[in-house]
Amino acid sequence: MTIQDRDGPPSHAAPAEELAVGPPGVFARALDSDLWHSFKRSPVTVIAAVVTVLFLVGALFAPLLAPYDPFDPATLILMDGFTPPMTEGFSGNVFWLGTDDQGRDIFSAILYGARISLMVGFAAVTFGMVLGVSLGLLAGYVGGWVDGLIMRVADIFLSFPTILIALLVDGVARAVVPSAFHDTLAIYVLIFAIGVSTWVQYARTVRGSTLVEKNKEYVQAARVIGIHPGLIMLRHVLPNVMGPVLVIATIGLALAIITEATLSFLGIGAPPTRPSLGTLIRIGNDFLFSGEWWITFFPGIALLVLALSVNLLGDWLRDALNPKLR
C-alpha cells in the first residue's frame, strides 16, 4: 500500500498543541469537498451508497420494519411452511418472499439476518482494526525487538489466507468453549475469529506510515518537550496514519460480511436460533433439491447485493483518497 504520498493536509496543519483538538475537523473539511465531488460524479457509487444505507436502516430497525417476528415461536404457524413468494399461506397471511419449513417469513428473516451479519461485520472489523492499529503503532514507533516480534508474527499470519485463519481460529475457539455455550457465544467467537484473521493488514500499513511520521518534526518536537511516548503515539501519530486504515476497513467490511456468511454456511458460525444471512442460506440449502428455491435464493441475493455495495464503496473510497491510482 502506498502511504507516503498522502501526508498532506493533516500533518502540516497545526503545531502539536492545536493538533490534539483540531485534527478531525481539519481532516474532515480538507477531504470533504474533494470526496463529495468524486462521489457525485460516480452514479454507481451513489447507488451502492443508497443500497448500503437501506441495508443499515433495515437492519437497525428490523423489529419495526419486519412484517412478522420470525423468531417468536408464539406467532409462527407451522402450516404456513413452504409458502411460495407472493402467495397466501395456509393462515391467509401473504408472504412477499415466501416462508421456510417452519413458516417463518423470509423477508423478515432477511432483515433480522442482515442485522446479525452487519453487526458481526462491523464488530469484527473494529476488533481487527484496533488490534492491528495498536500493534502497528507499537511496532513502528518503539521499533527494536518489539517491532521484530510483531512483524514475525504478522509474517506467519500473512502466509495463510484470511478465510483459513478465520476457519481455524473459529474451529479452535469452538473446541475450547464447552458445547453448552456454543449458541450463546457463537457470535462472539465469530467476531474474534474474523477480527484476528484481519489485523495484519492494518498493522503493516500503520507500521509503514508510523515509520515515516516518526521522523517528522512535529513528532520530534513533541518528544523534545517531554510528552509521554504513549501520548505521542495516540494523539500525534495516530491521526496522521488513519487515512489508509479507513480505506482498508471499508473493503474489510465486505470481506468480513462474506467471511461471516461463509462460516455460518459451513455450520460453524451464527446458530440457527440467531441466524445471519449465511445461516439462512445454509437452512435453505437443505430444501433446494425439493424445489423450494426461494428459501435460499433471497437470502443469497441479499448477501450478494450487500457485499457488492460495500465493495463498490470501498473501491471508490480507495481511488478517491489515492490520486496516484488514476
Partner 1 sequence: MAAFIVRRLLQSILVMLVVAFVAFLLFNYVGDPINNMVGQETTTLERDALRERLGLNDPFYVQFLRFVGNAVQGEFGISYRLARPVEDLLAERLPATLELSIVSALIAMGVGLAMGVYTALNRDGWLSRAFMFGSLVGVSLPTFLIGILLIYVFAVELRWLPSFGRGQVVHIGWWTTGLLTASGLKALIMPSITLALFQMTLIMRLVRAEMLEVLRTDYIKFARARGLTNRAIHFGHALKNTMVPVITITGLQLGAIIAFAIITETVFQWPGMGLMFIQAVQFADIPVMSGYLVLIAFFFVVINLVVDLSYYAVDPRLRVESARGAGGH
Q: How many residues bind partner 1 (CB under 8 A)?
A: 42
Q: Output the smallest distance, CB 266 to partner 1, in A.
A: 5
Q: Output the smallest distance, CB 196 to partner 1, in A.
A: 13
Q: Output the smallest distance, CB 45 to partner 1, in A.
A: 13
Nearer Cβ to partner 1 (80/170): 170
Nearer Cβ to partner 1 (232/263): 263
Task: Write out the binding residues for partner 1, residues 157-196 only, by CB under 8 A.
Answer: 159-161, 163-164, 167-168, 170-172, 174-176, 179
Residue 324 near partner 1 by CB under 8 A? no
Residue 297 to residue 281: CA distance in whole angstroms: 8
Unique residue bearing C-alpha cell 435464493: 297
Figure out which of the listed residues 3, 139, 247, 254 binds partner 1, where binding follows CB under 8 A: 254
In DSSP terms, 95 is beta-bridged to 87
Residue 32 to residue 96: CA distance in whole angstroms: 40
Cα distances (Å, whole numbers) of residue 251 to 246, 254, 318: 9, 6, 9
Residue 308 near partner 1 by CB under 8 A? yes
Q: Smallest Cα–Cα separation from 101: which of 88, 82, 85, 74?
A: 82
Nearer Cβ to partner 1 (240/264): 264
Figure out which of the listed residues 129, 268, 270, 295 binds partner 1, where binding follows CB under 8 A: 268
Figure out which of the listed residues 225, 291, 324, 326 binds partner 1, where binding follows CB under 8 A: 291
* DSSP-assigned letter for residue 160: S
Unique residue bearing C-alpha cell 420494519: 65
Residue 258 near partner 1 by CB under 8 A? yes
Residue 33 near partner 1 by CB under 8 A? no
Letter for the amino acid at 132?
Answer: G
Residue 281 near partner 1 by CB under 8 A? yes
Figure out which of the listed residues 28, 46, 156, 221 binds partner 1, where binding follows CB under 8 A: 156
Task: Please answer whether residues 150 and 138 qualify as being in contact, where contact means their C-beta atoms are separated by less than 8 angstroms.
Answer: yes
Task: Please answer whether residues 130 and 196 qualify as being in contact, where contact means their C-beta atoms are separated by less than 8 angstroms.
Answer: no
Residue 64 to residue 206: CA distance in whole angstroms: 41
Residue 270 near partner 1 by CB under 8 A? no
Q: What DSSP assignment string belongs to 184-227?
A: HHHHHHHHHHHHHHHHHHHHHHHHHHHHHHHTSHHHHHHHHTT-
Residue 212 near partner 1 by CB under 8 A? no
Residue 155 near partner 1 by CB under 8 A? yes
Q: Smallest Cα–Cα separation from 27: which of 207, 239, 238?
A: 239
Figure out which of the listed residues 77, 274, 293, 321 binds partner 1, where binding follows CB under 8 A: 293
Figure out which of the listed residues 72, 92, 152, 215 binds partner 1, where binding follows CB under 8 A: 152
Figure out which of the listed residues 303, 313, 317, 320 binds partner 1, where binding follows CB under 8 A: 303
Taken in order 16, 22, 26, 27, the sign of the CA dihedral is: positive
Nearer Cβ to partner 1 (59/257): 257
SS3 for 287?
Answer: coil
Residue 50 near partner 1 by CB under 8 A? no
Residue 21 near partner 1 by CB under 8 A? no
Residue 6 to residue 16: CA distance in whole angstroms: 19
Letter for the amino acid at 78?
Answer: L
Q: Which residues bind partner 1 (CB under 8 A)?
A: 151-152, 155-156, 159-161, 163-164, 167-168, 170-172, 174-176, 179, 208, 254, 258, 261-262, 265-268, 281, 285, 288-289, 291, 293, 296, 300, 303-304, 307-308, 311-312, 315
